[in-house]
Structure 1
């Protein structure tokens, strides 16, 4: 049974909105996930822009199957507070942006893990509203923004999520950003109105310009 995403706890003010993905955007994911896998005798190889098929056994070189991958990813999310840390310049930039805009985190993660992620974000000083959902991101951003006559922006590392938001919120400013440089080189080039940012410093400048109507 599909769980309907609840964001009744999100309170927006009369100012711009920035919706951010978390894994590989606000928090590092691929580097700590690699460390987690290595602790279980597996490795994540930067051979293409995907996870499944790039995880191999350190014992015999065999690829991890899909069922095992799902189990390992779920176990990682359950212990994410032991592995993940903020992406470079994420904390400073987000707090600077919060002076002029509302920040909402939208993470593609099973909602059952949201409590531990909430605690991790609070621990590092990122106490902005968070939504954990496995639904398409475009409709969620559309409901959040609700066609307000205010700037709205969305940051994600996965192109299908950016395109989902583009389809549902055509006026949204779209930024593609990824913390891990090894896998970033395999990311598909930005399409349409998507703008690529090399990191939080550049993303912050792009967003400030967007808020100012540039």
Structure 2
């Protein structure tokens, strides 16, 4: 039996039309590339040895890998300063703007909720003023809570396989798109399951979504 959802989505008011749920980091906003610049400025570097940050971020002073708590500290410091570092992916603003004429859009970001305000300001400044949910909980139950039992198309876009698998398990009719940049860390990421569509940029993802929501 599923654990009860400890995340409130009742404040999100959807219209009677399709729903597009998007991750944010490396789907709407660049994350990994600016994060590398950020940790370099903090005196560290990333060694592409495996698909993990812990164990692969080292101090440039002595070459020692940072402990997990220090990696988490760096990530939180980056999220605190995200407005100075993160920029939108190519074509995302125009693409989502076009879709918003016929579909509801909700951002579901895997980020500590205490940095919601910083991300909200950044997205608004970029013309991406869609509802934003920030949670470290599994995404499948959250998308199911959003979409409910509506007989309308729903699509989910994320760069990480485990999030796509979670949504696929909880919302079986959802279109799943694995949109990820060609970065050193994404090349080492676990592959998404068969049946999940792949895209490297929004120009590839857009026609897949369009075909699904107008069926």
Q: Which residue of 1 aligns with 2:121?
A: 119
Q: Which runs of 5+ in 2 are unaligned?
A: none
The question of 1:175 aligning with 2:177 is answered yes
Q: Which residue of 1 aligns with 2:38?
A: 36
Q: Which residue of 2 aligns with 1:87?
A: 89
Cα deviation digits, residues 105-126 of structure 1 (max 9, x gap): 0011111110111001001110
Mapped partners of 1:123, 1:4: distance in 2:
30
Q: Which residue of 1 aligns with 2:98?
A: 96
Runs of 4+ in 1 over 3 A off after TM superposition: none
Q: Which residue of 2 aligns with 1:165?
A: 167
RMSD: 1.4
Q: Which residue of 2 aligns with 1:206?
A: 208
Q: CA deviation at 1:181?
A: 2.8
Q: Please, what TM-score do these two structures have when normalized by structure 1?
A: 0.94
Q: Which residue of 2 aligns with 1:47?
A: 49
Q: Which residue of 2 aligns with 1:106?
A: 108
Q: Which residue of 2 aligns with 1:156?
A: 158
Q: Please, what TM-score do these two structures have when normalized by structure 2?
A: 0.93
Contact 2:165 2:192 in 1 (8 A): no
Cα deviation digits, residues 133-154 of structure 1 (max 9, x gap): 1111000000100021110011
